[in-house]
Amino acid sequence: MDKTLPLDKIWNPWHGCRKYSEGCQNCYMFYLDKQRDKKGDDIYKTKTNFKLPLMKNREGFYKIPSGSSLRVCMTSDFFLEEADAWRDEVWDIIRKRSDVHFWLLTKRANRIANNLPSDWNEGWDNVSLNVSAENQKRADERIPILLDIPAKHKGIMVAPFIGPVNISEYLATGKIEKVLADGENYEGARPLYYEWVKSLCEQCQHYNIPFLFYGTGNVFIKDKKVYHICKAYQRVQALRSGLQNPPINKEYPIQKRCATCYRKNTCNGCNWCGKCYQ
Ligand code: SF4
């Protein structure tokens, strides 16, 4: 499984959260729930999606094919206290689907160690533990905790990227497998500066660690010019910025994807560009 490729699929076994740190200030889940007259702090176990990785289609095949990568809990936090009662069942599902890679993300790094399954040992091959680090303060708080936890795969998500971040000392340990970065969206979105992303990319290049600039966010500043970028083009602009490690070029397999949005191997009519039809 090539873990350098984008993570396209999402599994939300529960929904809702409680705001936890400054990165949560404009949480997109709260914003989108409000648009639907719902409350983001109404936390519940999802019904049909809870067992998504075990669900099969009419032909008897898993809906999530072998070799997929799943981002877990994208409308919550995997280590949220309120989900403690549901997490063991989710670990069981992850254990059963050893052919699928599960990408777990949390801001609650101090809850990881006490909420791992009893047979975790040195970690599972199909699980990547990731912490959010929205600024230097949260990077210095959460990444050292992650480094001390046994895991086969560890990563850092700098999102929402709201302040410059230097994580060189953590990358130097050789324990971080991948770094992702993304800007902020919706009401009150705070700006992301090109220089912050460039610096982070260079830190990853120095330690030869894969870095993916995933999205610019709504407000992106380069050369003192402010760009307001709509959601549909944020990933395209980020990928075109050249701030990736390894760089996207003819030698790098991501180039085999759609030449415009890089999201799909083949265009399936998504609303990102449509240019791979041409
Ligand atoms: S931890 Fe994540 S899902 Fe929860 S409030 Fe913060 S940003 Fe939103």
Query: Residue 46 domain-assigned?
Result: yes
Query: Taking CA 110 as the corner, what is the angle to CA 104 and CA 116, rounded to the nearest 5 degrees?
Result: 50
* Atom in ligand 1 nearest the alpha carbon of residue 40: 5
| pLDDT value at 170 more than 90 | yes
Query: Residue 105 domain-assigned?
Result: yes
- The predicted pLDDT at position 247 comes to 76
**Tens-digit pLDDT profile for residues 262-275:** 555 556 656 555 45
Query: Residue 42 domain-assigned?
Result: yes
User: Would you say the C-alpha torsion 3, 9, 15, 17 has a positive or negative sign?
Assistant: positive
- The predicted pLDDT at position 223 comes to 96
Q: How far is CA 275 from CA 233, 239, 241, 255, in A?
A: 13, 16, 19, 15
Mutate to test the pocket of ligand 1, among 10, 21, 27, 74 (most ligand atoms within 8 A of CB): 27
Residue range 63-87: average pLDDT?
96
Query: Residue 278 domain-assigned?
Result: no
- The predicted pLDDT at position 255 comes to 45
Query: Residue 255 domain-assigned?
Result: yes
- The predicted pLDDT at position 98 comes to 98
Q: How far is CA 188 from CA 11, 60, 101, 234, 254, in A?
A: 27, 46, 34, 17, 33
Going from the Cα of 66 to the center of ligand 1, the distance in angstroms, rounded, reads 29
Please tell me the total count of domains within the chain.
1
Q: Is 236 in the pocket of ligand 1 (CB under 6 A)?
A: no
The closest of 13, 43, 40 to 29, measured between CA atoms, is: 40
Residue 217 lies in domain: 9-260
Q: Which of 195-199, 237-241, 252-256 has the lowest mean pLDDT?
A: 252-256
Q: How would residue 169 be classed by pLDDT, with cut points 50, 70 and 90? A: very high
Query: Residue 91 domain-assigned?
Result: yes
Rounded distance between C-alpha atoms, residue 162 and residue 164, angstroms: 7
Q: Is 162 in the pocket of ligand 1 (CB under 6 A)?
A: no
Going from the Cα of 93 to the center of ligand 1, the distance in angstroms, rounded, reads 23
Query: Residue 165 domain-assigned?
Result: yes
Q: How would residue 45 be classed by pLDDT, with cut points 50, 70 and 90? A: very high
Q: Is 107 in the pocket of ligand 1 (CB under 6 A)?
A: yes
DSSP 3-state of 113 = helix
Residues 6+ apart with CB under 8 A from 253: 2, 4, 5
Residues 6+ apart with CB under 8 A from 61: none
Residue type, 240: R
Look up the pTM and report it.
Answer: 0.88
Q: Which of 6-15, 47-56, 91-100, 237-246 has the lowest mean pLDDT?
A: 6-15
Q: Which of 71-80, 175-184, 221-230, 251-260 has the lowest mean pLDDT?
A: 251-260
Rounded distance between C-alpha atoms, residue 109 and residue 112, angstroms: 5
Query: Residue 1 domain-assigned?
Result: no
Query: Taking CA 132 as the corner, what is the angle to CA 127 and CA 135, rounded to the nearest 5 degrees?
Result: 155
Q: Which of 209-213, 250-254, 272-276 has the lowest mean pLDDT?
A: 250-254
Going from the Cα of 53 to the center of ligand 1, the distance in angstroms, rounded, reads 23
| pLDDT value at 194 more than 50 | yes
**Tens-digit pLDDT profile for residues 90-124:** 999 999 999 999 999 999 999 999 999 999 999 99
| pLDDT value at 65 more than 60 | yes
> Which residues is 155 bridged to in the sheet?
130, 178
* Atom in ligand 1 nearest the alpha carbon of residue 21: 6
Which of 230 and 165 is assigned the larger pLDDT? Answer: 165
| pLDDT value at 159 more than 60 | yes
